[in-house]
Structure 1
Amino acid sequence: MVYTPSVTSTESVPVSALARRIHGWTWQAYPIGMGTGAVYVSLSGLKFHPKAITTLETIFFFLNLILFVLNTSTLVLQAILYPKQAWRLVKDPVKGVFVPLIVLSFATIIIGVINYAHPTGHVATEFVYALFWIYTSFAVITCFPMLMIWFNNPHDLSHFTPAYAFLIFPMMLVGVVSFNVLRVMDPADTRSVGVLLAGYFFQGLGFFMTFIYICIYIIRIMSTGFLEGHQANGAFVACGPPGFTALALINLATRAREILPKHGLVSELAGEIWFAASVMGALMLYGLAVFFFFFAAMPYWFKIHKHLNEILGCWALTFPNVGWIATTKILGDVFVIRGFYIVHAIMVVLICSTWIILIVLTGMAFWRGLIFRSKEEDVIKDSLDKEEVEEIEKMSQYTASIQGSPVHEHPGSRFSNV
């Protein structure tokens, strides 16, 4: 009896370019928006701040909004149309660490809302306060499940990268979101105490957890040498925890100087003591962040692979450095040293220049189909039911047998690259 399959072949099933894009979209798209957010966050801290700079910041803010909506809606479509691919990305030991970046992108949007929408009266303080708790809940709900998935599997130390700390980053950034929210809240408002304490709580939790990741990173490069290829970009991620924590400590303590005395908390001098201690601690963390920046930058050009298909990893050159760059300006305000302002301005120019280069290269990679595009057979496999896939495999075996070519492939091997 001759077997006659009901499905002809995978090649006969048409796959549109849009379907390949949706199927090929990954969580690594969010760093593009975060890099865009890094531009207006960095520009907003410039000491010399003409109106034209504010206009430029606003443009980048809306561009970041567009990228956030695009990435989120595409990944939602992927989860609806190709649930197997969506779940595969979440469970992937490498690509899965980028899932929490949706929360970090949301943080840059909240900062933009505070900087550009609240001063114009388009957004009320109550709305900003609500955004803080939404972000905090979003961070916890996203980070803990991803940590459970990641820690449920063993990981090779020889392939460890600081980018794994992205699993904790959203909770660490609660402190940064906190002091930005407190800028528009009345210190006498009892709700400001909750925002302040939550900021310290999660900043400490996030920093110390990410610091453990950094220690593992140092151990790794002791045994294997500097990171190479696309992992060389991840070396800049190590700048993030100490840089953002230094920034959060000084700014949270600045708000504590106003909030604690108004509510009679701890002691009369608590606010001043917190501020003095925070400046000292922030200065030490700032030095660590600057060290990690040069530690990553010096061997970078010799270690990175110059391939456009790895361009997404290069966005790590932008947002992890925002923390220590912004701290540079704050230290200039605290110690009244002009040199800090000069260094800050130079680094802001470098961040903007890096963004221009990366957005051009990312556009080229997207146009050539090197990123965010799946193979046709991968799309077809995730579009079919299990029975249909088995039918196609049987057909392949049948075709090979009638042509006199023995089949040695394991069932499903033609999709093994998925």
Structure 2
Amino acid sequence: MSLPPRGTSAYDFSEESLPSRLSNPHHRRQRSDVAPPPPPPRRRASHTPRQTFSHYQSNSVGSDSSETVPTDNADLDDQESRYTVDQEAQPSQHDGQIAQGDKTEDGGDHSHSRPKLPLRARLAHFTWAWYTLVMSTGGLSLLIFVQPHQFPGLRQIGLVVYIINIILFVLVSSAMVTRFFLHPGTFKKSLTHQREGFFFPTFFLSIATIITSTQRYTIRAMSPDDPTPPGPPGLLWLIQAAFWVYLILTIIVAVGQYSFLFASHTFLLTNMMPTWILPIFPIMLSGTIASVIAGTQPLSQSLPIITAGLTCQGLGVAVAFMMYSHMVGRLMQAGLPDREHRPGLFMCVGPPAFTALAFIGLANSLPNNFDHDMDGLMETNMIRTMAIIGAGFLWALSFWWFGIAVVAVAQKPPKFFHLGWWASVFPNTGFILATISLGKEFQNEPVLWFASVVSIFLLGAYGFVLYHHVRAVIFQDIMYPGRDEDVEDH
């Protein structure tokens, strides 16, 4: 290896030294005493759209995550800057869709300020889920009526709640019609949307609570074998007609909506939510309605009502059990839902609870002389005993789901209000009603007191959810683009 002449600097670009340096490719290695310049500092990743681009840039080659693309820092800065500007320049999603970057565990688009919108624009996001308020209020009126420990004026309070529920039903229905009138095309879109469409059956659940509450607060109870009911015959006929119309419509919903879902949407079981049970819920409550109204109907009309109610109740709980298998599989594979949707787990409490309530009510509505052949096979007391046993089994399942939902919500309470919070009221109403029915059948006073205590907690839950519901409307947390059930966020 030739060295430069003595006295010649390594950085001397004179004519004598330049050829020797150009002809020596290892010239840089000869100056080991000169330290190389330090590498540029590495930028720390931040939770901004710039990180998203860098992550994409480092993982876009091949399937090996360790293989990266060498990119000049200046070019990377320029590309990332353009990406950030493009992200910030995206228009706000006022058509009910959220940008992917805004879908968080908060359960919707909660990442930007909310400019005030006029009522007309907000009505475009008035979804079917608003009927959860109505059916929860109706369930509360029923719960007040059947309380085992009454005090003077309690039934009058229940009557007021019943009237308020009717008013709420009219107001919500009027708002829904206004939405469809002011925003053409939203009716079909609401029924076919893969999330909001599941809440369409809550309209019929609200009607179910109105029918049963009307029976409780307008017609006195009577003996099942009394052919002359004490209530007005016209009102009895009206309730009977409402039951049969309700049954026919809910059968259409149960068959039609599931048929549409099977043909038009593809859902992953890892994303399953309890709202998948809702299309079968209304037909299942036909049995609950029958258990309430059959006892006051004439004998010739009560038996068809009992038969139809038992059949529909069996259909509903059977489909719910099939959904339960998928729900448990989803929880085992994908874990609990996001915190904003965990109150929806209380929906799983409803089917076994309302079925237990229906079993006891339908058995008690049978006439004492139901065993026409007198062979003991259809003896009324035996049927009632079997109904109580079956109701006890179903109540235990309902209690298990109740515990699962309570633990899930307690682990991660929701932060932002969603109309799904009402799931913590209506299904639990069925659980308490079933508890009261079992306590009365067993003549167990501690069980009845347990039901009374839980009723107080349910009343507190109703007030808590109602407060946040009103607050969410005022502060535009709901009825706002990207924050309602007309957008998919889970």
TM-score of Structure 1 vs Structure 2, range by shorter chain: 0.7 to 0.9
Query: Is the CA contact (8 Å cut-off) linking 1:192 and 1:259 kept in structure 2?
Result: no
1:267 is displaced (CA, Å) by: 5.6
Query: Is the CA contact (8 Å cut-off) linking 1:98 and 1:166 kept in structure 2?
Result: yes
1:283 to 1:371, Cα distance in 2 relative to 1, 3 A: same
Query: Counterpart in 2 of 1:288?
Result: 397
1:21 to 1:284, Cα distance in 2 relative to 1, 3 A: same
Query: Counterpart in 2 of 1:330?
Result: 437
| Aligned counterpart in structure 2 of residue 357 of structure 1, from 454, 458, 464 | 464
Structure 1: gaps spanning 5 or more residues: 1-14, 376-416
AA at the equivalent of 1:279: I
| Deviation by residue 1:314-340 (Cα, 9 ceiling, x = unmatched) | 100001112221111111111111111
Task: Give, in whole Å, the separation in 2 of the partners of 1:206 and 1:251.
Answer: 17
Query: Is the CA contact (8 Å cut-off) linking 2:120 and 2:182 kept in structure 1?
Result: no
1:196 to 1:121, Cα distance in 2 relative to 1, 3 A: closer
| Aligned counterpart in structure 1 of residue 269 of structure 2, from 157, 165, 175 | 157
1:146 to 1:266, Cα distance in 2 relative to 1, 3 A: farther
Query: Is the CA contact (8 Å cut-off) linking 1:143 and 1:168 kept in structure 2?
Result: yes
RMSD of aligned alpha carbons: 2.4
1:16 to 1:212, Cα distance in 2 relative to 1, 3 A: same
Query: Counterpart in 1 of 2:293?
Result: 181
Query: Is the CA contact (8 Å cut-off) linking 2:138 and 2:161 kept in structure 1?
Result: yes
Task: Give, in whole Å, the separation in 1 of the partners of 2:184 and 2:159.
Answer: 36
Query: Counterpart in 1 of 2:65?
Result: none
Which SS does the other structure have where 1:258 is aligned? coil
1:81 to 1:285, Cα distance in 2 relative to 1, 3 A: same
Query: Counterpart in 2 of 1:106?
Result: 207
1:182 is displaced (CA, Å) by: 1.0
Pairing 1:68-217 to 2, within 5 Å after superposition: 68-119=169-220, 124-152=235-263, 153-186=265-298, 189-217=299-327
Query: Is the CA contact (8 Å cut-off) linking 1:232 and 1:296 kept in structure 2?
Result: yes
1:270 to 1:210, Cα distance in 2 relative to 1, 3 A: same
TM-score of the superposed pair, with normalisation by structure 1: 0.81
| Deviation by residue 1:117-157 (Cα, 9 ceiling, x = unmatched) | 23496762111111111211221233322212222221011
1:174 to 1:358, Cα distance in 2 relative to 1, 3 A: same
AA at the equivalent of 1:233: P
Tell me which of the two structures has the higher relative contact order, counting C-alpha pairs closer than 8 angstroms and 6 or more residues apart.
1
| Deviation by residue 1:257-296 (Cα, 9 ceiling, x = unmatched) | 53724x6699674322221111111101111101110111
Number of aligned positions between the proteins: 359
Structure with greater helix share of residues: 1
Q: Which moved more, 1:94-103 or 1:268-277?
A: 268-277
Task: Give, in whole Å, the separation in 1 of the partners of 2:280 and 2:360.
Answer: 21
Q: Which moved more, 1:268-277 or 1:119-128?
A: 119-128
Q: Which moved more, 1:238-247 or 1:330-339?
A: 330-339
AA at the equivalent of 1:41: L
Q: Which moved more, 1:113-122 or 1:286-295?
A: 113-122
Task: Give, in whole Å, the separation in 2 of the partners of 1:199 and 1:100.
Answer: 18
Query: Counterpart in 1 of 2:139?
Result: 38
1:265 to 1:145, Cα distance in 2 relative to 1, 3 A: farther
Q: Does 1:274 pair with 2:364?
A: no
1:42 is displaced (CA, Å) by: 1.3
Query: Counterpart in 2 of 1:393?
Result: none
| Aligned counterpart in structure 2 of residue 306 of structure 1, from 392, 395, 415 | 415
1:67 is displaced (CA, Å) by: 1.4
Which SS does the other structure have where 2:339 is aligned? coil
AA at the equivalent of 2:292: N
Structure 2: gaps spanning 5 or more residues: 1-115, 221-229, 483-488
1:39 is displaced (CA, Å) by: 1.2
Which SS does the other structure have where 1:299 is aligned? helix
